[in-house]
Amino acid sequence: MVFDLAWLPQLTQGLVLTLQITTACIAMGIVLGIMLALGRVYGNRLISTPCSIYIHIFRGTPLLVQLLMVYYGLPSWGIYPSAFISGFSR
């Protein structure tokens, strides 16, 4: 049985892109999470209230709903998430 490995470069490119996106999202999530936590705990009422609202909204909705809102909602405002990812084009 002979295996055709023509798909291997595309699979490797997809793996690299997935790892880049994952790393960027984890880094942004940590920074945003720390900023929101500090704003909620140590901020005055003007800072604490928006932080609390943001946290409650995003903790109260399932991740799939958030992803669908980004995927379908941002293009309706003229913002295309794929434009921020190198290697993709519309």
Residues 29-62: tens digit of each pLDDT: 999 999 999 999 998 999 999 999 999 988 989 9
In a domain, 49, yes or no: yes
For residue 83, name the pLDDT band (cuts at 50, 70, 90): low
In a domain, 58, yes or no: yes
End-to-end alpha carbon distance in the chain: 39
Range of the domain at 42: 19-82
pTM above 0.85, yes or no: no
In a domain, 1, yes or no: no
pLDDT of residue 90: 47
Number of structural domains (the chain) is 1
pLDDT of residue 21: 87
In a domain, 24, yes or no: yes
Q: Enumerate residues 6+ apart whose C-beta is below 8 A from 70.
A: 81
In a domain, 11, yes or no: no
In a domain, 3, yes or no: no
